[in-house]
Structures are given as structure tokens and as C-alpha cells.
Structure 1
Amino acid sequence: MNRLDTKQIMEIIPHRHPFLLIDQIEDYEPGQYAVGYKCVTYREDFFAGHFPGEPVMPGVLIVEALAQVGAVAILSMPEHKGKIAFFGGIQKCRFKGMVRPGDKLRLETKIIKQKGPYGVGDAVATVDGKVVASGELSFMVG
């Protein structure tokens, strides 16, 4: 297994606090897949307004976390070192559960297509083995 801590993740992708949404990578294969985690705490900035008294992680941030994990898979390839992976689109996205403070969000993105700088990742987010979000994320490396 190829593990990465936060410092190592920041050597691969350009995201920083407060927008770095992954805490660790459990395993990855450059250009193939990455599996990471976000440990969701009550102290996340977005919980102040989403929603007061009923904290729920915004779905768009779950998708962004999945994209960041996919970016680790793509940008860890030697030919993409120092580049940025930009969103190209989101297809077949579904939200099936809520993410709350105290949850450990498992994020897995498999690269299913890649041609030149363009590609698509199949992404699934789970909490305690239950799918909370899934979709296909397209990207462009620039």
C-alpha cells in the first residue's frame, strides 16, 4: 500500500487549508486510483452555516473531496508533477446519505478513462460502509 499523510498530499495537489478536504491517502496507484479519508469534525468552517443546529457536510464539498482524491491519482504521475487537475464536469452524481461531525468519510476515485490531458474518474464516498455520494468526475490536467 502507498500511504500519504497531509504533508505528502500537499506535495502532489495544490489545495491548502481551508480547502484541502482530505486528511490522508490510504492507498493509490498513479494514473489508476486513490483511496483517502476525511475525518469530519464539528469545527469545520462550513458547519457554522450548514445548518445551524443540524450540521450536515455540503454535498458539493463531498464531491470536491472525491475530486481531490482523484487528483492525487492523476497528479502523482511523473508527467503531471506540479500541474493542476481542473473539473470538467460531473455526471451521474447521487447523494444517498448525510455526512455529519464525527464521521470518517472514505473517498475512492478510480480513473476509468484518460486521453491526453482529459479523463474521467468513477468516484464513491462512504461512511461506515454505506454509500453517501457517487458520480463520474471529468477533469483536465493543465
Structure 2
Amino acid sequence: MKYSQLDRISLLEPGHRLVGERTLDADEEYLGDHFPRFPVMPGVMMLEALHQASVWLIRTTPGFDEALVLLREVRNVKFGDFLSPGETLTVEAEIFKVDGATTTVKAVARKGDRITVAARLILESCSSGDPDHLDTDSELKRLADEQFFQLYGDCPCVAALKQPGENAAPTTTP
């Protein structure tokens, strides 16, 4: 992923909730155009932070069991404030409803006590649809697991998920 919108995960309760943070750096590539004299994080990037938090929450819940987690719908999006370089976005994603392969997540991002964006995201967990002999799903799961622990493995609440010599073991909540 080119633009990881979470710097760290501070709380992870698999099957329930994830809290992460994102501090906006002044040298972000897209800030030169958005906007030159008033650089702020684009709303779509704030929404992407909600999406990424939701995907990681869903992925860790069953232990990276699904090959793909796809965004199907975003509802009730509300923007409230700007995020400028040097400021930190606190992103919370909470599972609201699970119906088969579909998960509804309530997500909100705040700057201090001010909401910057809130939305309800509907995501679907699924396989790639490729034939089993291609082993695409196993490879996608392995890559997701690897990426997750590369990005967030040094966070104490995440490190507890992985036992030495194992893949994800999300039964432990710090």
C-alpha cells in the first residue's frame, strides 16, 4: 500500500475495536497540491484512514483467515475539521454488525476532541475466486499477515497477537 494511513495501533480488541494514530508529516507528497498555502490532509485520505483501520480490525478478528476484505459501501460520511501537518489523527473503528461475510464498522477520526471524519463502512470478507491449485488465497493471507506485522508489530497491543514461530494468534488482547 502506497499510503499507509495509520502510523501505529494503540488498542486492538479483535472482534470488537481498533484504535490507531496517524500524524501528518509536512513532507507528504500530496500536500504540495492540497493546498500550497494551507496544507491539509485531503478528506479522502482521512476516509482512507477509517477504511484501513476497519480492514485491519476485520483481518485480525478471525486471524487473517480471509484472503480479501473489500469495501462495499460507505454511509453517513461527515467531515468536521481539517488536519494540518504536525497534527495527529486518532482513528477508532468498532464492529457494529456482522452478517455472514459482511461486516459493518462504525468509524471515527478525531483531532483532540474534535471529529475530523466519521462514517459507517460496509466491508465484505471473501476469497479471491481463483482456483485452489493456484494457492492465491494462501498467498494473499500470508502477504496481509506479513504487511500487518511489518507496519504495526512493534506496537505492544499488536505484538501480543503473534507468538514466536506462528502466524497471527488473535486470541490474546492486551
Which TM bucket (shorter chain)? 0.7 to 0.9
Match of 1:60 among 3, 28, 44: 44
List alignment gaps of at least 5 residues for structure 2.
127-174
Q: Contact 2:66 / 2:125 at 8 angstroms: preserved in 1? A: no
Structure 1 runs (4+) deviating above 2 angstroms are 77-84
Q: Residue 74 of structure 1 aligns to which amino acid in structure 2?
A: I
What amino acid maps onto 2:67 in structure 1?
A: K
Contact kept? 2:23, 2:89, Cα under 8 Å: yes
* Structure 1 residue corresponding to 2:95, chosen from 86, 111, 134: 111
**CA offset at residue 80 of structure 1?**
3.6
TM-score by length of 2: 0.68
Q: Distance in 2 between matches of 1:68 and 1:26?
A: 14
- Return the offset for 1:50: 0.8
Structure 2 counterpart of 1:49, from 8, 30, 33: 33
d(CA) in 1 for partners of 2:15 and 2:54?
Answer: 9
Within 2, Cα distance between the matches of 1:84 and 1:42? 32
1:131 alignment counterpart = 115
SS in 2 for 1:66: helix
1:26 corresponds, among 3, 6, 10, to 10
- How many residues were matched structurally? 126
Q: Distance in 1 between matches of 2:124 and 2:114?
A: 29
Q: Aligned partners of 2:64 and 2:91: how far apart in 1?
A: 22
2:125 counterpart residue number:
141
Alignment equivalent of 1:90, drawn from 74, 77, 85: 74
Which range moves more in the overlay, 64-73 or 76-85?
76-85
- Give the aligned partner of residue 7 of structure 1: none
Per-residue CA shift, 1:15-72, capped at 9, x if unaligned? x3x3211110000111211000001111111101111111111111111111111111
Q: 2: distance between equivalents of 1:27 and 1:79? A: 16
TM superposition shift of 1:79: 5.2
Instruction: Give the alignment partner of residue 74 of structure 1, picking from 43, 58, 61.
Output: 58
Q: What are structure 1's unaligned runs of at least 5 residues? A: 1-15
Higher percent of residues as helix: 2
1:120 maps onto 2:97 in alignment:
no
Of 38-47 and 80-89, more deviation after overlay is shown by 80-89
> Could you tell me how far 1:82 is from its partner in structure 2?
5.8
TM superposition score normalised by structure 1: 0.83
Note the alpha carbon deviations across 1:101-140, whole angstroms, 9 max, x for none: 0111000010101112111111110001211111101111
Alpha carbons 2:40, 2:83 under 8 Å: kept: yes
Q: Deviations over 1:52-100 (max 9, x none)?
A: 1111111111111111111111100235436232111111110010011
* Structural RMSD (CA): 1.3
Q: Which has the higher strand share?
A: 1
**1:37 and 1:107 in contact (8 A); partners too:** yes
